[in-house]
Structure 1
């Protein structure tokens, strides 16, 4: 099993984290984003969208971080991480959509400005980040995990960019439930940290 990733990509960390939480062995292959290796023909054969991460498992190629989480859960029969009851499966899918939408356009986008110098509207991204963080804060009121009584791939999908939101000038101090949830994820056996950068509020 191989995972094409970059250490500063939250999407890539999402996949790496889940592989580690599952106790699976995988070869990590760094893709040099600065040299645009992800836009070269060899990589585009793996993922025509030219994005990280990509999981290669034998003859199976799985691009997209959330797709990787689903693939590994299904392959390994881990219904604890991806429940099969209709209500819980729907709850997990809802938060995967949040990770792909509100998180990507909120805290992830704000961090893109500071870490990668992306030409995005930082103020708008920070505002969107606080909207989704408030929704997460409310969802975590009275429950330890976002979608089920136990941690699921929804928690994995939301973790990386939420944890590093301060790098994009998104302050987490008003979100006690979110901060406690981050600590619970970090206490899981097999947890691997997302590389920090000295930017934003972390500077």
Structure 2
């Protein structure tokens, strides 16, 4: 099994993190985004969208970080990480959608400005980040984990860009429940850190 990734990509990190949390052996393959390796014909055969991460499992190729989390859960029967009851599965999917939407256009986008000099409206991204962080904080006030009584792939999907939100000038100080939740994830066996960048509030 191979994971094509970039070390500063939060989408890549969530796939890397989950592989490590479930103890799945794999090979990391770094993709040089600066050299536009992700837009070259060889990589586009794996993912026509030209994005990381990509998981290659034998003849099976999975693109999209959340899809990778679902694939790994199903392949390895990890019903603790991806519950199968209708209500629990729906709650996990709800937060996967938040990771793909509000998180991507909030803290992830704000961080793109500082880490990759992306031409994004930083002020708008920071404002969106605080809206989603408040919603997460409210949820975590009543639960140790975002989608239930134990960690799921929803927690994994939300972790990386939330943890590095300060790199995009998004302060986590007002979100005590979020900060405690980050610490709980970081204490899980198999946790791997998302590479830090000294920018934004961490400069």
Task: Compute the TM-score of the two structures, normalised by the length of structure 1.
Answer: 1.00
* Partner residue, 1:156: 156
Where does residue 11 of structure 1 map in the other structure? 11
Tell me what 2:104 maps to.
Answer: 104
Summarize deviations over 1:170-196 as a string: whole Å, max 9, x none: 000000000000000000000000000
Structure 1: how far apart are the matches of 2:135 and 2:156?
Answer: 17
Calculate the aligned-residue CA RMSD, in Å: 0.3
Q: Deviations over 1:116-160 (max 9, x none)?
A: 000000000000000000000011112100001100000000000
Deviations 1:2-39 (A, max 9, x none): 00001000000000000000001110000000000000
Output one character per residue of 1:38-82: Cα deviation in whole Å (capped at 9) or x when no partner: 000000000000000000000000000000000000000000000
CA offsets, 1:78-108, max 9 Å, x none? 0000000111000000000000000000000
Match of 1:113 in 2: 113
Aligned pairs (5 A) from 1:22-41: 22-41=22-41
Q: Which residue of 1 aligns with 2:178?
A: 178
| Counterpart-to-counterpart distance in 2, 1:132 and 1:47 | 29
1:62 corresponds in structure 2 to 62
2 CA distance for matches of 1:148 and 1:124? 31
CA distance in 1, matches of 2:144, 2:174: 17
Structure 1: any 5+ residue segments left out of the alignment? none
The CA distance in 1 between the partners of 2:23 and 2:84, in whole Å, is 22
Question: 1:148, 1:69 → 2: CA distance?
Answer: 17
Query: Aligned equivalents of 1:91 and 1:68: distance in 2?
Result: 18
Show the counterpart of 1:202: 202
Does 2:171 match 1:168?
no
Structure 2 stretches lacking a partner, 5+ long: none
Q: Distance in 1 between matches of 2:30 and 2:23?
A: 20
Q: What secondary structure does 1:4 align onto?
A: strand
Q: Aligned residues, how many? A: 203
Q: Aligned partners of 1:142, 1:12: CA distance in 2, in Å? A: 29
Q: 2:86 and 2:138 mapped to 1: Cα distance? A: 22
Superposition misfits of 4+ residues, deviation over 6 angstroms: none
Q: CA deviation at 1:162?
A: 0.0
Tell me, in whole angstroms, the C-alpha distance in 2 between the residues paired with 1:17 and 1:99. Answer: 15
Q: TM-score, normalised by structure 2?
A: 1.00
- 1:190 aligned counterpart, secondary structure: coil
Match of 1:88 in 2: 88
